[in-house]
Amino acid sequence: MAQFGSLSDRLTETFRNLRSKGRLSPSDVDGTVREIRRALLDADVALEVVKSFTASIRERALSDEVNKALNPAQQVVQIVNEELVGILGGQQRRLEFAKRPPTVIMLAGLQGAGKTTLAGKLGKWLKKDGHTPMLVAADLQRPNAVQQLQVVGEQAGVHVFAPEPGNGVGDPVKVAKNAIKAAVDQQYDTVIVDTAGRLGVDAELMKQAANIRKAVDPDEVLFVIDAMIGQDAVATARAFQDGVDFTGVVLSKLDGDARGGAALSVASITGRPIMFASTGEGLDDFEPFHPDRMASRILDLGDILSLIEQAQQAFDEEEARAVAEKIASDSFTLDDFLGQMQQLRKAGSIKGMLGMLPGAKGMREALDNFDEGEIVRTEAIIQSMTKQERQLPKLLNGSRRLRIAKGSGTTVTEVNALVNRFEQAAKMMKTVARGGVPQMPGMGPIPGMHGGKKKQQQGGAKKKKVGNPAKRAALASGAAAQPQQQAPQGSGFGFGGANAKNPKAPTEEEMQSLQKFLGR
């Protein structure tokens, strides 16, 4: 996540220096705490939060839980992770819905924090969860705020209650009251009230927001704060808590390139949990806030649970099963390949999903250079093919590839590269579907795994490598000269049983005598 990129890099580097130490001295702990303090202050975390955070880490790092640990460095990372979860709010808190609908959710915050767009995101998220939300245009002062909410509501597929034109016309308190009555009459179970903001904290803003709160008695008041606001986050949050009070925090613009100290300050300062995070400009770039997962992302430990949830929402289980059957039966086509890519795009930003993997910070340069438009170009190439060409890529001769390149706005080289990648991917998926391990480019077959080129010898026995080179060469030449045959029964000394081809072999009576002589 871009917001915590610098903080994450510095913390990761600090912990890397600890891994070489078998035991941590007080000076090692002090040096680590000093680096953590600097990293947090550079990230615009509030000073009082930094002081309490580092003091707690130092106290725990010098305790017996670290001194007696087998790996002190990992124990310190665990301590920092737990403390980060604490200042981010501890446990995740969900929305509390009214026992008798409608549930009223009021949005408050400064102008430019992203309240109107966030109202649409929250409405779409609630609709996916089976609710029937309604947006209320109670911001009647900002120019075109009502029209913006109507556009956002239409994109989200959510009804918008907007009886007043706005632009300074209308009473926002009256609009909010009438919205509750309309929701009851039209059977909407959730009402999201978008209120006016200001360029700064002032008495008029607080009075209007407080009057709306008294009028609608909301079940939840969400304070929307720009994650890029920096040190001002603390003063703004305290002003809204004193003037309006709120039950939860929503972080907007969490995908920005600012330092993100607001996220690490607001929950600790106000004692109110962060409930949601807006991670992009799209209406689907919205997710519940999990303190433990966010702490793992900051420490570059990954966020596999969020990655799985995104994949489950985007991928259809039945379709995935059908594709698996096609792969196993060697009938996977470019049409199926196109469908899989489109589902992958539905899951969200690929760069964002790769960033949730553990150790993703080590791939920072590769992630920054990753071009999401490559997927769009790949889709254009496949969509420029005929149905028959998608089913049978072998039909793609030179003239067909030139036509496809012109139709998709690409080059013949890009078309050739796509076909080659598809053929390699199809082979690898087929190998995996049959229980094998595919051979990766630039790597040899993996020892001990199925799918390699070497087959096991008959009977499951493995040849032992002879240490003497001369003897090994003689054995190899002897094995090549004689046809492979079933090994005859014999003793552990290498003698075979007597047969017509080997008349000088010892008889059964001779073998029994030899065993008696050896005391067996």
407-453: pLDDT as tens digits: 988 899 999 988 888 888 777 766 765 665 555 444 444 444 444 44
Q: What are phi and psi of 393, to 5 degrees?
A: -60, -15
Return d(Cα 81, Cα 85) in angstroms, integer: 6
Question: pLDDT tier at 156 (50, 70, 90 boundaries)?
Answer: very high
Q: What is the pLDDT of residue 444?
A: 46
Q: Minimal CA–CA distance to 45: which of 84, 9, 80, 14?
A: 84
**Nearest alpha-carbon partner for 112 in 139, 136, 131:** 139
Residue ranges of alpha helices (H) inside 271-372 are: 291-298, 304-314, 317-328, 334-346, 350-354, 364-369
- Return the pLDDT at 193: 93
What pLDDT, on a 0 to 100 scale, did the predictor assign at position 254? 76
Share of the chain above pLDDT 90, in %: 17
Instruction: Calculate mean pLDDT across residues 38-67.
Output: 82
Q: Under a CB-based contact definition with an 8 Å cutoff, are residues 3 and 263 in contact?
A: yes
C-alpha distances (whole Å) from 261 to each of 42, 44, 219, 298, 356 are: 9, 4, 28, 12, 20
Which tokens belong to 402? 């030139």
Average pLDDT, the chain: 75
Residue range 234-265, pLDDT digits in tens = 778 888 888 888 999 998 887 765 556 766 78
Helices (H) and strands (E) in the chain, counts: 23, 8
**Measured distance CA(464)–CA(318) in Å, rounded:** 48
Token pair in block for residue 36: 């953590």
Phi, psi of 481 (to 5 degrees): -75, -35
Confidence of residue 102 (pLDDT cuts 50, 70, 90): very high
Specify the pLDDT at position 153.
93
**CA-atom Rg of the chain in angstroms:** 34
Predicted local confidence at residue 501, as pLDDT: 45
Task: Quick: pLDDT tens for 302-348.
Answer: 545 555 555 555 556 666 666 666 666 666 788 877 777 777 666 55
Cα angle value 314/379/319 (rounded, 5°): 35
404 within 8 A of 417, measured Cβ to Cβ: no
**Cα gap 472→475, rounded to integer Å:** 5
Most confident of 25-34, 93-102, 285-294: 93-102
Q: For residues 378 and 381, give the distance between their C-alpha atoms in angstroms, rounded to a whole number.
A: 5
Q: What is the pLDDT of residue 454?
A: 42
CA dihedral 261, 267, 269, 272 (to 10 degrees): 150
Return the C-alpha torsion angle 499, 503, 507, 510, nearest 10.
-160
What are 150's two structure tokens?
A: 């109507």
- How many whole angstroms separate alpha carbon 418 and alpha carbon 337? 11
Q: How far is CA 13 from the centre of its chain?
A: 22
Q: Could you give phi then psi for residue 134, rounded to 5 degrees? A: -135, 130
User: pLDDT, tens digit, for every residue of 163-220?
Assistant: 988 888 888 999 999 999 999 999 999 999 998 876 666 677 778 888 898 889 999 9
**If you search the block for the tokens 């009028």, which residue do you land on?**
215
Does the pLDDT value for residue 492 go beyond 50? no
Query: Which residue has 């000088």 as its token pair?
Result: 504
Tokens of 255: 């995908």
Instruction: Decide: 307 and 357 in contact? Cβ < 8 Å.
Output: yes
Q: How would residue 477 be classed by pLDDT, with cut points 50, 70 and 90?
A: low
Task: Name the β-bridge partners of 276.
Answer: 250, 288
Residue the block writes with tokens 């002062």: 141
In this predicted structure, the answer to whether residue 133 has a pLDDT above a threshold of 80 is yes
Higher pLDDT, 136 or 464: 136
Q: Please name which of 185, 161, 224, 190 lies closest in space to residue 97, comparing C-alpha atoms.
A: 190
For residue 337, give the nearest of 302, 382, 370, 371 by alpha carbon. Answer: 382
How would you write 113-126 as a 3-class SS string? CCHHHHHHHHHHHH
Give, for 190, the enclosing helix (H) or strand (E). strand 190-194
Whether the Cβ atoms of residue 192 and residue 134 lie closer than 8 Å to each other: yes
pLDDT at 494: 41
Highest mean pLDDT among 303-307, 383-387, 486-490: 383-387
Structure confidence at residue 437 (pLDDT): 53
pLDDT at 160 over 80: yes
Q: Is the pLDDT of residue 57 over 90?
A: no
How many degrees, rounded to 5, is the angle at CA 469 between CA 463 and CA 473?
Answer: 70
- Taking the alpha carbons at both ends of the chain, their separation in whole angstroms is 72
β-strand pairing of 286-288 with 274-278? antiparallel
Q: Count CB atoms within 10 A of the CB of residue 140.
A: 22
Residue with tokens 């109670």, as numbered in its chain: 138
Segment 111-115 shows an average pLDDT of 84
